[in-house]
Structure 1
Amino acid sequence: MMTGYLRAAAIFTGLTTTIIASAGPEVPRFSAMPPGGPVLGWEALKPAPKANDTQYTLVREGGHTVLKAQAESAMSGLLHVIRVDVQRYPLLRWRWKIAAPLQTSDMRTRAGDDYAARIYVVFDYPFDRLPFGTRAGIRLAESVYGQKIPTAALNYVWDNRQPVGTLQPNTYTDRARMIVVRSGGERAGQWLTETRDLAADFRAAFGEEPPAVVAVALATDTDNTGERATAWYGDIEFLPREAAPR
């Protein structure tokens, strides 16, 4: 159990001790950045000191700038700190594409906890509402890493074998829930737009109403399996309920 919380802390090393709310739910758009330039408004996310870094670059594709991720036995990501009222902006929309799913990953095991593409959403869940054992594990993790770690997170993943709609706890901590949005290689190589109801997903995952979002992140990771993966990410948006899926 304790090891799990330490891993969870590592996953979100980009979170600062003090969350500073942004002016609104505007995530920095890759499409507004020049190809080859810096990824503005996003922080590096370095979970495992011994793992290689996933390489993230801004590239031009289909008339738009997108973020390209290349991982080889690697795990690092990008994170944007933002405060979003889920009651006002319950929808999350993004575009993504993968070259191919991973071959040997298995989300049911720690050794297989790798994904060609994933989007994290971190919530401001009250610490004092957690069970005693969970609080103790988080305190230990924070003492080791010297920073606050998330108390609730949703992970939207492109898996290789579990069916779409699978929802389960992460193998390292049950405070992060995995949701399979895409699976397998049938749609690999295609740009896909996803729209998720954050409020509904949080209720399904944790059985209660969601608190505010405090960060969004993305990662292409292969450090456990040692595989190679390539993915592309488009803009990520928080939207009001009236914004219908497209």
Structure 2
Amino acid sequence: MSIDPTNNKVRLRPTARAGVAFLLSVPLAGCALLGGGERPMSAEANAQEQAQVCAQLPEAAASPATATALLKGEVVPVNPLSQNSPLRDWEHLSFFPFKLPTQYSVMQCGADNKRQLVRIDARSSASSMIRPLNLQAGPDSRIRWKWWIAKPNTKAKTLDRSLEDSPIRVVLAFEGDRSRLSEQDQQFLQRMDMLTRKPAPYATLMYSLGAGVAQYDVITSAHTHTVKIKAVQTQQDRNGLGQWRLFDRNIEEDFVKAFGEKPGRLLSVAIMGDADNTKASSRAYITDLELIGLKE
């Protein structure tokens, strides 16, 4: 993997001003019916939401031409999209074979289609898009992104194991010595190894929309101490929903606060939306995702 040697920046960056939206038909997976018996959006309401999301999208900061994108934001032709999608370097991960997968779609904005977003539709579902990496975070390493919560999951409760869902998460997975973990956590990771057919990370830090918790609270997963959830935005903050929110987090600081030790190598970054516990639905958008100051 190549990193810009001047600032070690990795980013997802659209390149032009937003305008009218175009939702491309490139879902990886999804389900036909909304959770909880809800009716799907009408075509008119969908078009209005997309137009609003694009019209309010802030300009992206300048980025060196040599920067390597996590989600490539360059202009792509509509056909064949599969070969030029900004998600082409990502992997779709379903956690359990009996769970419905969340739908991830590429949305292009503007008459010239030069800005790209990823739309996440969770409908009684749970899965993620993962970008494999192998980078080392340091004291000044950061992760930045923008997201828009279009439809929060009103049934979600972060502290309730049976209702812990979020319309969007940015998930960082780290390397470490699993033998240092408790027997219970080691067994949990072994089960995840078998279910996903991939090695489970030593530690996972999730930036999430919190429900029923305070902003910036760090919550230990009810399933394992190896997963920590940081509520960078809360569902109670109604003024923060339905608009673009910008985030800029220091990776090492957040990891130390969550786990009490410095992070190992960053193995992947994922985006995720889930509504499997609540059997409900949610919708969100994300763009301008970038890593800064990490080293190979």
| Superposition TM-score tier, normalisation by shorter sequence | 0.7 to 0.9
CA apart distance, 1:145: 5.2
CA distance in 2, matches of 1:237, 1:125: 23
Residue 160 of structure 1 corresponds to 211
- How far does residue 118 in structure 1 lie from its aligned partner after superposition? 0.5
**1:31 shift after superposition:** 2.1
In structure 1, runs of 5+ residues without a counterpart are 1-21, 242-246
Q: Per the alignment, in what secondary structure is the counterpart of residue 71 of structure 1?
A: strand
Partner SS for 2:285: strand
* Cα distance between partner residues in 1 of 2:184 and 2:281: 37
Normalised by the length of structure 2, the TM-score is 0.68
Say yes or no: does 1:127 pair with 2:127: no
* SS of aligned partner of 2:151: coil
Query: What are the within-5 Å matches in structure 2 for residues 1-246 of structure 1?
Result: 22-24=1-3, 25=10, 26-32=68-74, 34=76, 37=81, 38=85, 39-61=87-109, 64-87=115-138, 90-143=141-194, 146-184=197-235, 185-240=238-293
Higher gyration radius (CA): 2
Q: 1:72: how far off? A: 1.1
State the match for 1:17 in structure 2.
none
Aligned-residue identity in percent: 23
Q: Is the 8 A contact 1:116 1:159 kept in 2?
A: no
- Please give the alpha-carbon distance, in whole angstroms, between the structure 2 residues aligned to 1:35 and 1:107: 40
* CA-based RMSD: 2.2
- The equivalent residue for 1:9 is none
Count of residues in Structure 1 that have an aligned counterpart in Structure 2: 220
Cα–Cα, structure 1 residues 224 and 30, in superposed 2: closer, same or farther, change >3 Å?
farther
Measured in 2, the distance between the counterparts of 1:229 and 1:134 equals 30
Deviation at 1:34, TM superposition (A): 3.0
* Greater relative CO, 1 or 2 (CA 8 Å, sep 6+): 1
Q: What TM-score comes out, normalization by structure 1 length?
A: 0.81
CA distance in 1, matches of 2:215, 2:242: 18
Letter in 2 for 1:215: S
2:96–2:196 contact (8 Å) kept in structure 1: no
Amino acid at match of 1:32: E
1-structure distance, mates of 2:269, 2:209: 16
Residues 141 and 187 (structure 1), Cα distance of their counterparts in 2 relative to 1, 3 Å cut: closer
Deviation at 1:147, TM superposition (A): 3.4
Contact 1:71 1:229 in 2 (8 A): yes
Q: Is the contact between residue 188 and residue 224 of structure 2 (CA under 8 Å) also seen in structure 1?
A: no
Distance (Å, rounded) in 2 between the aligned partners of 1:202 and 1:224: 26
The verdict on how the C-alpha distance between 1:23 and 1:127 changes in structure 2, with shifts beyond 3 A counting, is farther
